[in-house]
Structure 1
Amino acid sequence: MQVTETLNEGLKRGYNIVVTADELDAKVNEKLAEAQPEIEMKGFRKGKVPMPLLKKQFGERLLGEAMQEAIDGAMNKHFEESGDKPALQPKVEMKNGEEWKPGSDVEVEMSYEALPEIPEVELKGISLEKMVVKADDAAVDEALGNLAETAQDFKARRKGSKAKDGDQVVMDFVGKVDGEAFEGGSAEDFPLVLGSNQFIPGFEEQLVGVKAEEEKDVTVTFPEEYQAEHLAGKEAVFTCTIKEVKEPVAAEINDELAQKFGSEDLEGLKAQISERLEAEYAGAARAVMKRALLDKLDDLVSFELPPSLVEAEAGQIAHQLWHEENPDVQGHDHPEIEPTDEHNKLAERRVRLGLLLADLGQKAEVEVTDAEMTQAIMNQARQYPGQERQFFEFVQQNAQMQQQLRAPLFEDKVVDYVFELAEVADKEVSKEDLQKAIEELEEE
């Protein structure tokens, strides 16, 4: 087998690989010899079929496998000896494909872009600032107020007041179809929040404006796909007797509210809120510090980038931004989107940092554990209520999806590794300062 270099410019590589006819023939014979003990053929005992007859029967079929194995072996040996790592799958073309006949040499052209050598970075010399925000009383009180609103109570409106959207109406009702009451269509002292969509479409809207002690007939049509088949698609009249009209009010901030949210008392709830707020602040501060780290790394390193990776990343950036600017276009049936200079510049940064972080992670032996992957898949699966199991199985069978989930986990673990080595100084700031820093990140 002969491997001859044909191109070596920057990161671009080209090689001519020749697999001789004798090498292919030897591989075919090797495969036949391995299979011979198990082959049965009429007129011969198992394992006793002569090699020339086997070659005539199966040789041509095995030739393609032998050719592929020989080429793959040559490529693997080349990468082991050269130390090159291709940026993307190498391009392999058979030069004499149309003219090739059994008994001839096979000539193949292989081309690829090699990953660059990544320069060493003195991580201990990197200085970073971590924003620290304490949850003050005002922030805790604001969060308490929001909780009280979500745990809203209702109090009776002034006598004679009309019900508004969002009010609670306490009523008795009897539903009839064709003048006959039906099972499950009646209730007493039923509390219904108008606008909650608890009842079938059109019901709650007709109760807006009712008053206590008023009787009102509500006429609605059950949906065609209603679960009770005997009611599906039929018109019904509900006679509603309004007993009370109540307006929503925020729950009182006291021990009872705290117990609704799993705390023993109000002080316990405040401590719980304070802890949650500071965890949120810490997460936001980490995002700011990560951007600062990436900016420093981008300034510290410079190396040649594989053009194919930059081109692919720029295309993806341009495509994503186009869809963000054109949210009405759901599919990909649109004109080709050409990346701009700005897209290419951002792509270069992303590829450079991606290669650098991958190199740092490999040298530090950073790995994403099975438990971390499982947790990431479960987090994603929650976005598909009722289909969690199907999503989990889909990811397990889809290597590309697994890589999409693993990549950000790996990057964050490498970033945490660098944080440990870098000089990090805490800086106490206000919530407003942190919010401003986050907004600046989102604008970039």
Structure 2
Amino acid sequence: MEVIEKKSDGLSREYGVILAAAEVEEKMHFKLQQIAETVRLPGFRPGKVPPKILRQRYGSRVMGEVLEEAVNDSSQQILKEKGIRPVSQPDIQVTSFDEGKDLEYTLAIEVFPEITPMDFSKLTLERLELIPDSKKVNDALDNIARANKTTRPIKTKRKSKTGDIVILDFVGKVDNTEFPGGSAEKYNLELGSNTFIPGFEEQIVGTQAGDELDVTVEFPEDYQAEQLAGKSAVFECKIHELHEAKKASIDDDLAKKVGMSDLNALKKAIEEEQNREFEQMSRLLIKRQLLDVLESKHNFDLPKKMIENEHASILSQVKRDEKDSSKDEELTDEKEYFEIARRRVKLGLLFSEIGRINGIELDQDDMKKAMLEETKKHPGEEQKVMDYFKNNPKAIEQLTAPIYEDKVIDFVLDQSSITAKKMTMDGMIKILEDENKEKRKKKLVSAKKTGGKQKKGKSSTTRKSSDKKAKKTIKQKKSDPPSN
């Protein structure tokens, strides 16, 4: 085998490889002999078929097998002899291959960069810990009681007030044009619930059954559907009925209704759920801290092809998301996505090196856990999901990558200096909300600079609460009424 280095630029390497015709023929002859031992042809005993006939019948198939085997074996030998750690699968292009001639191909790869992980004991991070708050537990109990409220029509003729349920039709228009998600019939709206955009419910207070009115509102500047953000809208409303609500009593009966043995058990479940939610948010924040520090403290060459592939993958996903949501919009800022790709590649390589140096590996239990979690997302098709992953190693890699990342993160955190800071649930939620607002602000600024259009969100008259998940305290049984 002859190997010629054609390129050595940064992390990129390219080699020209020549396998002599005699070496290729030797592999061809060996494979044909294997076939001769088992093949049965009319007029010939097993093992006695002449080589010429075997070559005529099976030559094309064997040539393909020889090509694949020769390229795979020789390329692996080159990487091993030169001590090369490729960051991804080599790009192999066969330039010449024919019977009786040399096999020639090019081998292009990007090598793993030299990475020296920092001393993690010098890292100083902050972890937020929950301050117990009985008021939050009581608020959660109150929400559960409200979710299990009973309603009844108001028989006396009176005006609606905060706390009533108004059954109404509405049609929303911006610039005299209806917009998607802005209309509904016989909608049950609880006044004071703040489920609609600011100013809507306040104008419904004081109405009576049979009333028709126009409600004028301003969509917030940071409204989730960006094509409506900051715009004025008029909703044509018709009031059908008024109902009054009575929340359930907070007692053992309420606890049993949501699947608990008694009120004390319900309170304990709420506390545990709030602790879990806080811990998840706390881990998210300390993980962000850690990733930012690791990214800034390490400097090494990055494989250009890996970044290009990751960038292409991100853009492809963005376009799929836009297609799925039936939007025809330009990408906000490709430069922003390129920076995300660069950061992902950098941290991915760093985590891989930290794991390699410190012997961090995934075991069978990790694989099974990841597959089990995925099967839960596809009820009734569990076996299909399991079979798919068993037959697709790359899919397993993608599935277990977050688990490996968490293992590396835990390893680094264990060696870091971590200070605890007490924080309320509301304080934690505000931190996350502020971070999200800052991200949205940067996105808007970026879009204005590039002149690109924003990616639209789904239109909706109701406003989603950003801390909905954080404030949800306990799951109800499927048979119970929904809490929203």
TM range (shorter): 0.7 to 0.9
Deviation of the 1:72 alpha carbon: 1.2
CA distance in 2, matches of 1:68, 1:147: 64
CA distance 1:83–1:251, shift in 2 (3 Å)? farther
The whole-number CA distance in structure 2 between the counterparts of 1:49 and 1:326 is 59
Partner secondary structure for residue 18 of structure 1 = strand
Query: CA shift at 1:142, angstroms?
Result: 1.0
* Alignment pair present for 1:295 and 2:292: yes
Q: In the alignment, is residue 153 of structure 1 matched against residue 150 of structure 2?
A: yes
Aligned to 2:86: 86
Q: 1:312 is matched with which residue?
A: 309
- Post-superposition offset of 1:251: 0.9
Decide which of 352, 375, 383 is 1:358's aligned counterpart: 352
Whether the aligned pair in 1 keeps the contact of 2:18 and 2:104 (CA below 8 Å) is yes
Taking the aligned partners of 1:63 and 1:2, their CA distance within structure 2 comes to 21
Residue 34 of structure 2 is matched in structure 1 by 34
The amino acid across from 1:254 in the alignment is D
RMSD: 3.4
SS across alignment from 2:144: helix
Q: Residue 17 of structure 1: SS of its match in structure 2? A: strand
2:103 is the counterpart of 1:106: yes
Alpha carbons of 1:433 and 1:374: their partners in 2 closer, same or farther (altered >3 Å)? Answer: same
Q: For 2:263, give the aligned amino acid.
A: L
Q: What is the distance in 2 between the residues matched to 1:57 and 1:384?
A: 47
- In structure 1, the partner of 2:18 is 18
Partners in 2 of 1:67 and 1:376 — Cα distance?
37
Aligned letter for 2:258? F
Task: Note the C-alpha offset of 1:277.
Answer: 0.4
Q: Does residue 264 of structure 2 align to residue 270 of structure 1?
A: no
Alignment of 1:344-423 (within 5 A): 344-384=338-378, 387=381, 390-423=384-417
Higher relative contact order (CA 8 A, sep 6+): 2
Moved more, 381-390 or 416-425: 381-390
Matched, 1:2 2:9: no
1:9-61 alpha-carbon deviations (Å, 9 max, x no partner):
10110101101111011111111233332233333322233445534543454
Deviations 1:337-378 (A, max 9, x none): 696333322322221111111222233333344444444444
Residues 318 and 338, structure 1, Cα contact 8 Å, conserved in 2: no
The answer to whether the Cα contact below 8 Å between 2:165 and 2:245 also exists between their aligned partners in 1 is no
Secondary structure of residue in 1 paired with 2:8: strand
Number of residue pairs aligned between Structure 1 and Structure 2: 367
* Letter of the structure 2 residue corresponding to residue 115 of structure 1: F
Question: Given that residues 166 and 248 in structure 1 are in contact (C-alpha distance below 8 angstroms), is that contact kept between their aligned partners in structure 2?
Answer: no
In structure 2, do the counterparts of structure 1 residues 94 and 338 end up closer, same or farther at CA, with 3 Å as the change threshold? farther
> Of the candidates 332, 335, 342, which is equivalent to residue 341 of structure 1?
335
In 2, the alpha carbon distance for the partners of 1:28 and 1:402 equals 35
Q: CA deviation at 1:149?
A: 1.8
Q: Could you tell me whether the CA contact under 8 Å between 1:314 and 1:339 is conserved in 2?
A: no
- Tell me which amino acid in the other structure corresponds to 1:15: Y
C-alpha distance in structure 1 between counterparts of 2:141 and 2:419, whole Å: 32
Q: Is this contact kept in 2: 1:123–1:422, CA < 8 A?
A: yes
Report the counterpart of residue 62 of structure 1 in structure 2.
62
Distance, in Å, in 1 between the alignment partners of 2:61 and 2:117 is 50
Aligned positions of 1:223-234 closer than 5 A: none
The one-letter code matched in structure 1 to 2:338 is N
How big is each residue's C-alpha offset from its partner over 1:110-151, in whole Å with a ceiling of 9 and x where there is no partner?
112222122132122212110001230111111111111222
Match of 1:261 in 2: 258
Q: Deviations over 1:48-89 (max 9, x none)?
A: 334455345434542332222112111011122223233333
- Judged with a 3 Å threshold, the aligned counterparts in structure 2 of structure 1 residues 407 and 296 are, in CA distance, closer, same or farther, namely same
User: Aligned equivalents of 2:332 and 2:2: distance in 1?
Assistant: 41
Q: Secondary structure at the match of 2:360?
A: coil
The alignment-based identity, stated in percent, is 30
- Normalising by structure 1, we get a TM-score of 0.72
Match of residue 281 from structure 1: 278
Change over 3 Å in CA distance of 1:145–1:393 after alignment to 2:
farther
Instruction: Answer yes or no: is the 8 Å Cα contact 1:88–1:112 preserved in 2.
Output: yes
CA–CA separation in structure 1 for the residues paired with 2:301 and 2:42: 63
Moved more, 83-92 or 125-134: 83-92
- Amino acid in the other structure paired with 2:17: I
How far apart are the structure 2 equivalents of 1:382 and 1:60? 46
Check if 1:125 corresponds to 2:109.
no
Residues 1:311 and 1:56: Cα distance change in structure 2 (over 3 Å)? closer
CA–CA separation in structure 2 for the residues paired with 1:394 and 1:166: 50
Alignment partners' CA distance in 2, 1:297 and 1:252? 52
- Aligned partners of 2:383, 2:98: CA distance in 1, in Å? 51
TM-score, scaled relative to structure 2: 0.67
1:250 equivalent in alignment to 2:247: yes
Q: Quickly say closer, same or farther: Cα 1:154–1:373, change in 2 above 3 A.
A: farther
Structure 2 Cα separation of the partners of residues 373 and 60 of structure 1: 40
> Which has the higher Rg, Structure 1 or Structure 2?
1
Distance in 2 separating the partners of 1:145 and 1:388 = 38
Maintained 8 Å contact 1:79/1:85: yes
Amino acid at match of 2:94: M
More deviation in 130-139 or 60-69?
Answer: 60-69
Residues 150 and 247 of structure 2 are in contact (CA less than 8 Å); yes or no, is this contact kept in structure 1? Answer: yes
Listed as ranges, the gaps of 5+ residues in structure 1 are 168-193, 197-208, 211-244
State whether residues 19 and 107 of structure 1, in contact with CA within 8 Å, keep that contact through their aligned partners in structure 2. Answer: yes
Match of 2:31, SS state, is: helix
Deviation per CA, 1:189-244: give whole Å up to 9, x if none. xxxxx979xxxxxxxxxxxx89xxxxxxxxxxxxxxxxxxxxxxxxxxxxxxxxxx
